[in-house]
A = this chain, B = another copy of it.
């Protein structure tokens, strides 16, 4: 069984970190100059590993195997948040490169097909999961015309400026690519808290968002008696409190819900607010659980609607279905995890969105997590023990081999 080269893995990770390094973190947002530089460097590393390397029309970097037979596509993204950690995405990309190199060096696996990839803009500088959606042919073509970044720069212009618009698109080859694997930091505290070293992802959670509007009557905060008020803030507080008190009855162990946005139509200590809005986000790996939470939400909204003269309206927003990971990919990852970290791995959902959620629609997909120290991510402070980085890559390597073996049996 081939072994990955820990030093080479860590060195390449550190070199990638140097593109956009800022303190312990990295600033390498999608299609920035430094992101493009790092992608050409990555393409060179893929080529050095004997892969057919190229950037496609949206800036995805591919290293395609020239071996005949089934291939496993492995990768993640190398763009970062505006203040990103050094491992988020980068770890999965460099691990894919290392797996390709390890297999190529071992006579027993040198003919195995490993495709590597770094997806463009998973973090949504222009449009979240842009690259993986383009590859999977699920990207709405309008996005390429209309998407802009927070500064108003048009994605289309930036792609032209980078010369990427002339590159041919690269799309999924389901007859050749038999699976997609992605390694990633957990971005949460579950592994770090439990002292487990590997997470085998069972599903990437679904997301549902709701904008809840409260329409009362704006009034003078001194002269309007309490019983006469149609106070939108008060109604919002009461309903939000009910959500927080009643959701645990219906939620699963891994359900999360967040009120990340709250606002009033007025902002004055002397005005009874006439309007208020809050946004609620639910995440759960199980569509049935999300259905039950949604029913409970609508029941709570109906119960509050009209109380003290305040109308309540609930408007559904973003809606992403959970993406279960492929059973066979999970099994291959789990057996590799048990061999290399016996008793110290677990199955778990991913609460964060990943490119694997997009890929799962086109290829049997699997994901593995390594621990995030303190559960921290999207922060310069993000980090993982080097031993865990090495272990995760070794597990990924063995899982890829097992998948290819299953397909060539």
Contacts and interface: CB of A to CB of B under 8 A. Distances in A.
Given A188-B223, A258-B269, 20 more contacts: A188-B224, A189-B225, A190-B225, A209-B269, A220-B352, A220-B377, A222-B256, A222-B283, A222-B350, A222-B353, A223-B352, A223-B375, A233-B262, A237-B241, A238-B244, A258-B272, A260-B266, A263-B263, A269-B317, A270-B281
Nearest to A223: B188
Given A223-B377, A225-B188, A378-B220, A272 B244 contact: no
A240 interface: yes
Contact of A262 (B193, B258, B263): B263
B226 A256 contact: yes
Given A237-B244, A377-B223, A260 B254 contact: no
A268 interface: yes
A316 B249 CA distance: 38
Interface string A213-236: 000000111111110100101100
B256 A260 contact: no
Interface string A293-320: 0000000000000000000000001100
Contact of A241 (B209, B241, B273): B241
B262 A262 contact: yes
Interface in A350-379: 350-353, 375, 377-378
Contact of A240 (B219, B237, B281): B237
Interface in A266-297: 266-273, 279, 281, 283
Give chain A's interface secondary structure class. Answer: mixed
27 contacts: A186-B223, A188-B222, A188-B224, A188-B225, A189-B228, A190-B225, A207-B222, A220-B377, A220-B378, A221-B260, A222-B352, A223-B350, A223-B351, A223-B375, A225-B256, A226-B256, A233-B258, A237-B241, A241-B241, A258-B272, A260-B267, A260-B271, A260-B272, A260-B273, A262-B262, A262-B264, A270-B281
Interface string A31-62: 00000000000000000000000000000000
A261 interface: yes
A162 interface: no
A143 interface: no
A187 interface: yes
Contacts of A375: 219, 223-224, 228
